[in-house]
Amino acid sequence: MTTLSVEPAEPVATVGVPRAAGRGRLVLARLLAARGAVVGAVVVLLLFALAFGGPYLTPWHYATPDFTALHRPPSAEHWFGTNGVGQDVFAQTVRGLQKSLVIGLLVALFSTVLASVVGACAGYFGGWIDRALMFLVDLLLVFPSFLVITIVSARLRSAGWIAFVLLLALFNWMITARVVRSMTISLREREFVRAARFMGVRPLRIISRHILPNVASFLIIDATIAVGGAVMSETALSYFGFGVKAPDVSLGTLLAAGTSEAPVFPWLFYFAAALLVLFVLAVNLIGDGLRDALDPTSAAAPRRRPRRSVSRRKRP
């Protein structure tokens, strides 16, 4: 009697399974291929480390004066020198950088969330909701934002810098909302959105699960660039006395305080100015790199060079 041995079948490989990790690896490869984005990311990380770790590197507090060292140049005791009342410029600079970075991040976060919600709702629902929201956007675009912020911020001095952040975010989301609305209008006619609608999925769930993830690439790029713009806006308003109030400091207040004394005491102005310029340039480099990495039609993707086949002739 012959015994038939049946070997176990090999597992069949699954074909066509979408992998989210593949998209992430592609974006990461594109981002690492952009040298400017890598340099910008390193600079931003170093600036954040300096802003939040710098106060622990010096024994001086940004508001504590040293009356024995007035207008002293940079030295081993005071790395960035001192100002006219003996305050350590290094401690003030890292404190001002910290405050400006926090304000810039919060403004970019709040404005991006507001723009995504308003733009997606206006583009998806249409009708009177679209007209009402776009009327609000046009109305805010007509207002001179700098003038409105200077007038309102003077009345919100007791509310602190959080009110200043909300005021900046209120006038920093309109153009992004218009772009999100245009993208949503084209997305709502796609097959997956129409299928979800016919299945009875609620509109807000469709917006959160299908619309916003498909515009996330644009929102990430816009939020990154908005951080630099928010830091510049905060610096400009604080420079004119409408932003961060004393005894707290920011890059804008440091630039305002050191402008008149810059020809004689340059360390009061140029350290804060250099950090501001460096941060804005680094953020713009990161934004350009993210745009190339998240854009599927970009030519910045790393391409493998085809191997040249060398034909060898046979010796007779």
Q: Which class does domain 40-294 fall in?
A: mainly alpha
The radius of gyration of the chain's CA atoms, rounded to the nearest angstrom, is 27
Total-model pTM: 0.79
Q: What is the pLDDT of residues 241-285, one digit of tens each?
A: 777 877 888 888 888 888 888 888 888 889 999 999 999 999 888
Instruction: State which of 146-155, 157-166, 224-233 shows the largest mean pLDDT.
Output: 224-233
